[in-house]
Structure 1
Amino acid sequence: MSLFFVILLKVFPIYINVVLGYLSSRVLNVQRESIATLLIYILGPIVVFSATISVKIDFAVAMLPIFLFIFCSIIAFASLAIFKNSWKDPTGNILSFSAGTGNTGFFGIPLAIILFPPHLADIYIFTVLTSLLYESTTGFYVTAKGNFTVSQALKKMSKLPILYAFILGIVLNIAGFEIPETISSYTAQFKGAYGILGMMMLGMGLIGLKSEPDNFDVKFISITFFLKFIFWPLAILGVIFIDKEYLFILNQELYDVMFLFSIVPLAGNTVTLAVLLNAKPEKASLAVFLSTVVSVITIPLYIYLYGGF
C-alpha cells in the first residue's frame, strides 16, 4: 500500500468524528454550546497545561511560535491591504483574518496526536498557542477595525483559561517541575477527548447550514482556498529550505510541526467573527465546511509529497 493511502487511513477517522457530531446534534439534539464550554473551560486548559509543562523548551522550540505569530500577522496585514475594498461588506476583513490562521486546534491537535510521537505532539500543542495569540490580537484588528479596540481584544483574551494554563505550564516548566507519571498518563487521555469533541464540534456546526446561491461566493472561496492550500504550504516549505541551507535554527522535528501547522483547513473562528460583523456568516460557514471536505484529500497528499513524518 502506498504511503498516500496509509496516511489517508490514518487521517480518515478524524472525519468520522465530524459525522458523529452532526448526527449527535441532528438526532440526539446535543447542544454545541455545551460541548464548546467543556472544550474551552475544562479539556483545553488541561491539554495545554500538560503539553506546555512537558515540552523541553530550548531556543529552537521557543523561536517556533514567535516566528509563526509574526508570519501569520504579515500574511493578515498583506491580505487586508490587497482585499479590503474587494467587497462592499466586511468580507475582505474576514478573508484577511482567515488568511493568517487555520484550524490548528480542533483539527490540528487530533492530527498531531495521530501522526506524531507524544513528545512532538506536545510541541505542536505548545505551538498552537500562536493561533490563540494571533486571533486575539492581529486577527481581531484586521477583522474588526472600528468594531473592537485593542483593549477590548486583550480583555477578551484575558478571559480565556487556556492562556493561564499556558502561563502556569511555562512557569513550572522553567522551574523544573515535572508531572508524575501516574498523573501524566491520566492527563494524556484528555488529548484524545479534546480531539474527538473538537472534531464533533465541526459537525455540529453544519446544522442549519444552507447552500443558497448567495452563500457560494466564488471569489471569496477561491482566494481563501488559494491562500490556505497553496500559499501556506509553499511558503512554509520555503522557510524550511532557507533554515536548512542558511540559518540552522530549527531541526527536522520542528520542520514537521511547521508543515502540519500549514496544511490544516480554514479556522472555525472565521465563522464566529463573521457573525460579530454581520458579514454573511453563512458564506464563511460554507467556506470553512468546504475546506474541511477538501482537506480529506489535500492533507494526505501534502504529507505524501512532503515525504511523511
Structure 2
Amino acid sequence: MQWVAVSLALMAALCLALGTQTQSAAVTAHTQEALKPSNLGSLVRNPKWVAGLVLLGLGTALNVGALTLATVTVVQPIGVIALVITTLLHAKHKHLDINARTWGAISLCTAGSAVFVVAAVAGTDPSYLADPRAEIILVSILIALVLFFGVAELFLRHRRISMFYVLAAGILYGFVAVLVRLTMTHTLAHGLGQIHWFTVIMIVLASVVGGWMVQCAYSCGPPDLVIAGLTVVDPIVGVILGLSVLGEAGPGFTPGIGAIMCLAGGVAIVGVVLLSRHHPEVIERREQAKRLEHELSSKSSPNATEHRKTLNSTREH
C-alpha cells in the first residue's frame, strides 16, 4: 500500500506545481506591493487564481489519500518533485534560461528526496497507532505557532521577507500533514463518531494561515523558490514529528537508515540553498539591486529616498 501512496503523492506534487505557478502569476500580476487581506476580494474574482486554487485543492485531496495509506515520513518528501515542474513552468512563463547551476541545484533536491523516500519506506511502520497524548502535544504546539506567525506577519508585512513566509508555511503544513495522518488513521480505526473535532478545526485554521503565508510569498519571490522552501521545510518538520512524537520508526529503522536519511535530507537542503543563489530570476534581482545602488551613488535626486526603499526591498528578497 505504501507504493500506492507514493503514486498518489506524485500526482499531488504535479497538481501542486501547476496550482502554484498559476496562482503565483495571478498574485504578481495583481500587485507589486505587500499583499494585504483586503486584496483577497479581487484575487477571488480572478479566474486564473481560482483555477490555481482548484488545482491546489485537488493536490491536497490526493495528498490526504496518500497520508491515509502511508506514513508522513514517506509521503511528505515526495512533494519536492513539484520543484522541478514549477521551475520549468516558471522559466517558460518568464522566458528565462535555466543555467547549469540551477539544473545542478534541482538535481540535488530531487536526488536527495528520492533517496530519502526509499530509506523512509524501508524504515517506517505504516501500521503503527500513535499514543493519544501525541495528538494533544501536537495540537498545543500548533496553537502557539499559529498565534506566533499570525502576529509576526502583522509586524513584518511591509518588509516583504519571502523566506519568513516560506518557513512559516512550511512549518504549519508539516504539522497539518501529521495531524491529517493522525485523524485519518483514528477515523479508520474507530469510525466517524470518534473524530476529534478540535483537531480538525486546528487543521483547517493552520491550513488557512499557511495558505495566506504562501500567497504573500508569491508576491515577494519566484514560485519555484517558494516551492523549494516548502518541499524541504514541510517534510523535515513532518519527519521530525513523525519519528519523535508519533513513533513511526518501525523495526527496520536502523542507525544506518537514519544516517542515510540525514545525508539525503542534507543534500536536498544544499540544493535549495544553491537554487536560492543561482536561480535566473534571483540573479536578475541582484543585478537590478546593483544598478539601483550605482544610480544612488552617482547622483542625488529628489527621488533618492524612493530609490533607497526600492533597493532595500529588492535586497530583502
TM-score, normalised to structure 2, is 0.31
Larger Rg: 2
TM-score, normalised to structure 1, is 0.32
Q: Which has the higher helix share?
A: 2
